[in-house]
Chains A and B, each alone.
Chain A
Amino acid sequence: SQTIHQWPATLVQPVGSPLSLECTVEGTSNPNLYWYRQAAGRGLQLLFYSVGIGQISSEVPQNLSASRPQDRQFILSSKKLLLSDSGFYLCAWSKGHGGYTFGSGTRLTVV
């Protein structure tokens, strides 16, 4: 069966520090991968999506970047965090029909 792993679960980082969140999927090949941010009262905001290795599409201009170095690995990064980067980050995968499967999320607090 397919599983999605996302870590860490919580993270507290100072302003200006770098960020690296990792997501891996098991049990499937060539999935579509997504990074979302969820802020209170604002729903899910799509940040990046990828349909294959090295193929990244950015939905909103921001202080973040994404990479897909392997078929089932998706990484969200920042060189210098801002206070406004705080939020709940979710990784998800899909493969055609059937909706998305989300990871358990990372709660990031920038202080």
Chain B
Amino acid sequence: QKEVEQDPGPLSVPEGAIVSLNCTYSNSAFQYFMWYRQYSRKGPELLMYTYSSGNKEDGRFTAQVDKSSKYISLFIRDSQPSDSATYLCAMSETGFQKLVFGTGTRLLVSP
């Protein structure tokens, strides 16, 4: 079993839809959770960073962490074609430790 599981997609939605992206993990010691966005042929860029459980909102993006279920989510409201990219979750036990990445979910938002 992989430490972090992520559906590879692709996930296709129409413009304006609410998108839900998810990861599950097996290591209960993970405390730091991140979401990265990667456009084709580019390096990943950090979107959201959360510590422990709870929600964090930044514009159209909301990150949720449910440590009891070992499940994290990224919600995108009013999705735009420019949101089309691969989204990777990442996590670590401490802020100084190496990150463990999911394999990424490819999102396609059609106009």
Contact = CB atoms under 8 A, between A and B. Distances in A.
Nearest to A103: B43
Interface stretch (A11-19, A68-76, A78-86, A92-100): A92-100
Nearest to A102: B43
Given A90-B43, A99-B90, A105-B42, A41 B98 contact: no
Interface residues of B, number: 22
A46 B97 CA distance: 13
Q: Which DSSP category, helix, strand, loop or mixed, fits chain A's interface? A: strand
B103 A42 contact: yes
Question: How extensive is the interface on chain A, given as a class?
Answer: 20 to 34
A44 B101 CA distance: 7
Nearest to A32: B96
Interface string A42-58: 11101001000000000
A101 B41 contact: no
Contacts of B11: none
